[in-house]
Each structure stands twice: as structure tokens, then as C-alpha cells.
Amino acid sequence: MSVDRRKLIVDAASKSFALFGYKATTMDQVAKLANVGKGTIYTFFSNKEELFDEIMNRLIQEMKLVADGEYDANRSFFDNLNRILYKILDFREKHQLAMKMAHEVRDMGTPKALEGLNKLEGAILSYIQVKIQTAIDKRELKICDPEVTAFVMFKLYLALASEWQHSHSPLEKEKITELFQLYLMRGLAEG
């Protein structure tokens, strides 16, 4: 068989969405980047949104894979959290798509980009939530609402890994995992 045209399209679209965002990525451009006729895209995806969905689902799946690959049921919640966080922070490039979506939502309000981000956020939150529930059952975490706790962990992650650098120099990933431990796990109270 000849080259896998579907993969060509998905790869080209991935790059384009991450580089230019949802709106600024045109089907003509994707076709040209993938060295494929525009009509060919529509034999695999019924519209632009479906193509975008596939890319987002891939990102989500990839992050799950990274997390699952690092997760070890025999280790403690903190240990797993630390190592997964660390691994995820290594993927700053992979974050580029999510970053671009966030930017686009912020300064253009593209609805499809917002939808994609929400889906990603939802996937991350429910992943964390399950791990939290497990840790509570194992008496590793204090009793708490897993949904609120997952939400807080995610927001803390965003604050340290992304928002902080809006007005300061970025924190090292070692620093971020360390702060995570201090603030959320051990707590600030002395003694």
C-alpha cells in the first residue's frame, strides 16, 4: 500500500493546531502540509471539528499513557503524584497545543478551542479524582471531597507551572514538585 494518508493528515493537523491554533488552521493549509488533496481529508473526517477532536483525544490519551506508565500501585500517593507531575512537566512541548488553545480562548474566544480545553481539563480532573479516592481508601490522604481536591490540585498546578511566569521567571520543575509537597501535602503549619 502507499503512504498512510490518514496519518499524514493527523500529523499535519497536529502541528498546525499547536502552532497556529484552531481558527488560524485552515483545511487548505492542512492539505498542503500533509501533501494531500483537500477532498482526501473529508474521506477520513467529516469536518474540521472531528479532525480537531481526534487531535485532542490523542493528546488526552498520550497524557494518560505517560501517567499510567509512571504510576505504581505499590508506591505512595505522594510518590506517584510527584513522579507523574515531574514527567508531565517534561512535556512542555506537548503542552504547546493546550497552551495555544488557552491563548486562543483568552484573546479570541474561539468556542471550539474552549470546548477542547474543557474536555482536556475534564479528563485530567477525573483521572486525578480516581487516584485521590484510592488514596483516601488506603488511608494515605485525609478524608476530603475528591472532586474539590482534584480541582484544587489542578489549579495549583496551573498556578505554579503556567500563571506564575506571567509576572515572574519560570519555576524549575524540581521547585514545582517541591512546592506541591509543601503546600498541599505537608501543609504550611509549623509543628
Partner DNA sequence: GAGTGACCAAAAATGAAATATAGTCATATA
Partner DNA sequence: TATATGACTATATTTCATTTTTGGTCACTC
Nearest 10 degrees: CA dihedral of 116, 18, 2, 31? 90
Among 73, 74, 142, 169, binds a second copy (CB under 8 A): 142
Type of residue numbered 162: S
Q: Which stretch binds a second copy (CB under 8 A): 16-24, 47-55, 64-72, 105-113?
A: 105-113
Binding mask of the shown chain, residues 43 to 82, with x at each position contacting a second copy by CB under 8 A: -----------------------------------x----
Shortest distance in whole angstroms from residue 98 CB to DNA:
20
60 binds, among DNA, a second copy, none (CB under 5 to 8 A by kind): none
Q: How far apart are CA 98 and CA 94, in angstroms?
A: 8
Shortest distance in whole angstroms from residue 101 CB to DNA:
16
Neighbouring C-beta atoms of residue 159, cutoff 10 Å? 13
- Contact between 184 and a second copy per CB under 8 A: yes
Residues 84-103 that bind a second copy (CB under 8 A): none
The grid cell for 65 is 499513557
- Contact between 163 and a second copy per CB under 8 A: yes
The grid cell for 133 is 479516592
Please check whether residue 188 is in contact with residue 182, taking contact to mean a CB–CB distance below 8 angstroms: yes
Q: How far apart are CA 11 and CA 5, in angstroms?
A: 10
Please check whether residue 13 is in contact with residue 31, taking contact to mean a CB–CB distance below 8 angstroms: no
Neighbouring C-beta atoms of residue 50, cutoff 10 Å? 11
Q: Which stretch binds a second copy (CB under 8 A): 16-24, 32-40, 93-101, 139-147?
A: 139-147
Which residues would be at the binding site for DNA (CB under 7 A)? 2, 5, 23, 25-28, 31, 36-40, 42-43, 46-49
Report phi then psi at 13, rounded to 5: -65, -40
The grid cell for 76 is 505512595
Q: Which stretch binds a second copy (CB under 8 A): 21-29, 31-39, 44-52, 151-159?
A: 151-159
Residues of this chain that interact with a second copy (CB under 8 A) are: 78, 106-107, 109, 139-142, 144, 147-149, 151-152, 155-156, 159-160, 163-164, 168, 171, 179, 182-191
